[in-house]
Structure formats: C-alpha cells, structure tokens
Amino acid sequence: GAGVSQSPSNKVTEKGKDVELRCDPISGHTALYWYRQSLGQGLEFLIYFQGNSAPDKSGLPSDRFSAERTGGSVSTLTIQRTQQEDSAVYLCASSLGPGLAGVEQYFGPGTRLTVT
Amino acid sequence: QKEVEQNSGPLSVPEGAIASLNCTYSDRGSQSFFWYRQYSGKSPELIMFIYSNGDKEDGRFTAQLNKASQYVSLLIRDSQPSDSATYLCAGSGGSYIPTFGRGTSLIVHP
C-alpha cells in the first residue's frame, strides 16, 4: 500500500452535523494538500501542510472548515455544522515537498461527502 | 491572480490520431507544470511533468513548454479509447501550491 489513502470513501450526513475526513499520505512525503471537487467542476484548493511549518489555510471557504496534521503524517479535515453546499468529493494529495520536483502530487481516491 | 486556462472541450479525436491539449498560464513565476488525467468518478493521476522549455516525451505522451508564450501542451499519439478522460493542467511557482485549470474533456472514438 504505497499510495495515498483516504477514509471514509463515502459519507452521508445530515445538515448541521460535524464530519471528519482522514488522509494518510505516502510515506516520506512532507507536503499534504486538501482539495474539494464539486460535480463537473475543477479542483478547489483548501489547505496545504509542509512538514512542521504552519499550514497555508488560504483556501478554506469558511471557519467551519479546519484541518490538522499530526506528527507530520496523517491529516484530518473537519467540517462543522455541515451545509448542503459542502457536498462534494474531498481529495487529499501528497508530494515530496519543496523543490521543482516536489510538487508532483499523488492523489488519494477521495471521500464523497453528501449532506442531506 | 494566478490563472491556468484550458478549453473545456470536449475534444473529440478518432482512434489512432494525435490528441493535442493546450493550457495557458498567467503567472510568469510558475516553474513547474503538470498534466493529470482524471477518469470519470476517479481522482486525478499524474501523467507528465515538465520544468524546462521544449519537449519532454514519455511513451505516447509529449509535454511541451514555452515559457515565453506562457503555454503548455500535451500531445497524445496513437490515441486510444482508454485515453478518454478529463486532462488537468497545473502550474506551480514558489508557493508550492499548484494552480489547476478546469480541465479538458477528451473523447477518443473508435
């Protein structure tokens, strides 16, 4: 299992509930990214972690969204008080880290979130 | 604002033909460029990357970069129906956060 893994693969939740999405990056990759992709749309950047540096949260759409990365490895994206517009596929990607070659991203299979 | 532009398509080509996918970018600071293939319902898969002006070939795929014109392209030779997918172009500069285009849908018909 050398690839990026994400769980759960599907999540159905009621409006107003909190959800946690998990990403396990490729071993040795210091950079981790979260994206959101709505049906038929492009990739929307959410947050970027690089090693132990402070994350770049510039893409988070509201303060209901947060993410952490423990021990420089596994990351959790939390959405509080979910809304129907949060329904999308949430993709995690990892890469080696800074440098020309370090931005080659490898994506996980995604978590499909449906808010009812 | 950094932008990567792609024609959404669909681009339709017959099997065996060359498919040409194009991408322009606005950030002159971009140094690295990537092409991802995304099948319907699947996550993006990295297929090519290029850093230097000129051509880079890998099997049936050739990536072309022209930094003066801020233009990146992907050529797929001997296109197969299995190449039918959405192709995402991305560029990255010093921030290490790639900017993605919205993708071009490619249809290869038998």
**Token digits for B33?**
């460029």
| Interface contact flag, B96 A91, Cβ < 8 Å | no
Low-confidence stretches of chain B (pLDDT < 50) are none
For residues B72 and B64, the answer to whether their CB atoms sit within 8 Å is yes
- Which member of A48, A100, A107 has the closest CB to residue B97? A48
pLDDT tens by residue, A59-69:
999 999 999 99
Taking CA atoms, B14 is separated from A41, A47, B52, in Å, by 26, 40, 31
**What does the alpha-carbon distance between residue A24 and residue A104 come to, in Å, rounded to a whole number?**
17
Find the Cα–Cα–Cα–Cα dihedral A47, A40, B73, B49, rounded to 10°: 40
Cβ-contact A20, A113 below 8 angstroms: no
| E-state strands within A29-104 | 31-37, 43-50, 65-69, 75-79, 88-95
Distance of residue B102 Cα from the nearest chain A Cα, in angstroms: 4
> pLDDT (tens digit, 9 = 90+) per residue, A39-84?
878 899 999 999 888 999 999 999 999 999 988 799 999 999 999 9
Q: If you measure CA to CA, which chain B residue comes closest to A112?
A: B41
